[in-house]
Structure formats: structure tokens, C-alpha cells
Amino acid sequence: MTDPQTALETILPRWFTPVFLLALVLGTISINAMTAYSSGLALQAAGVRIRRSLSVIVDGVLGVALTLYALLVSNFLDTVGNVLQLTVVLLGPSTAVYATDILLRRNRYDGLALTDETPGSPYWFTAGVNWAGALALGAGTAAAALCVNTLYTGPLAGALGGVDLTLPVGIAVASAVYATLMRRSRDRLGTTQRA
């Protein structure tokens, strides 16, 4: 697969090659249109005051710039691999916080209260921020960054001879910190579990 286009031409009939490439281009555009829309929605949900149309344009410009960089400046496959490896630094701990919260609450959430964005909501915490989650995410991300061995070698990965423990360490630290901090506010957990 070092040259997928040439490899596909040997497998597919000649008449199908342009049809396949057109389907590939249109499918990629469709998927990225939905991704840009979702990204704009996520920005708005996070509290960034931006029009949806402008957020889609910003996403498009950033996507094109990153794609051009990956294709023209660096090795595309290496760049994609490095980005995927670095996303683990953030995605592992964030997923761990979410999964730990589900376990602590025994998956008992008040659906109506989850949509309540007022200070009276049981999920409001402190000024609308669950500091236990934010601190756990920060601690897990920092710990994972120390263990990474991709674009750079973190100090722990270097001490272990290049062993990349990003995912397990990020998950373990984020989950432990979140569980510890949330146990201190067990009364909040009880409030949301009863609903």
C-alpha cells in the first residue's frame, strides 16, 4: 500500500477506476461536511460564541491548511500517524473521566437535569464547571504526555527505553484522580442518583 492508486488499478477494471475515485472524493467531502458541522456545534456547546456558518468556514480553512501541510511539506502517513498517536494523550483521559463518572453514578442520570444549564442544576457544580473532572483530565493528560513516544519522547518513555505507556497511564491517572475527588462530593452523586 505504498502506492494505493497504482495497486487499485491492477485490481479494478479500467472503466471503474474513475468511478471509484469520484466516489472516494464525494464520500470524503460528505463526511467532512458532517464533521465540520459537528465541530461547529461542539464549539457552541463549549460556550464559544461563534455563528455556525463561521465555525464551518474556520474548520474548512484549518482542514485545508493541515491537509496541504501533510501532503506538501511532510510525509502524509507519518503526519497522520503522529496526530493519531498524540490524540491518545487527550482522548484516553477524557474517556476515562466519562467512564468513571458512569461507574460512580451507576449510570443513573437525570436526563432533564442534564439539559438544565442554570445554577440550580444538580450538574452545575462550581460556576458550571465540574472541577473534579477538569483536574482529572488535566492530570491524566499531563501523565500521558510524560509517557508518549511519537513526535517526542517523554521522560518516562525515555526512562523505560522508549516504551509508550500513554494510554494506560493516562486512563489510570485520570480515573483515579476523578474517583478520589468525586468521592469527596458524594452528596452531589447522591442528589443526581435519586432523580
The predicted-structure confidence for 86-120, as pLDDT tens digits, reads as follows: 899 999 999 999 999 999 988 888 888 888 888 98
Domain boundary among 73, 92, 126: 73
**Over 50: is that where the pLDDT of 195 sits?**
no
Asked whether residue 192 falls in the same domain as residue 107, the answer is yes
Residues 56 and 81 in one domain: no
Q: DSSP 3-state assignment of 56?
A: helix
Domain that holds residue 129: 76-195
Number of structural domains in the chain? 2
Of 174, 159, 11, residue with least CA distance to 89: 174
| 156 or 72, which is more confident | 156
Please state the pTM of the whole predicted model: 0.65
Q: Which of 164, 184, 175, 156 is nearest to 88 (CA)?
A: 164
Digit-coded pLDDT (tens) for 118-177: 898 888 888 888 999 999 999 999 999 999 988 889 999 999 999 999 999 999 999 999
> Domain boundary residue among 73, 98, 114?
73
- DSSP code of residue 141: H
Q: Are residues 129 and 113 in the same domain?
A: yes
For the cut 90, the answer to whether the pLDDT of residue 192 exceeds it is no
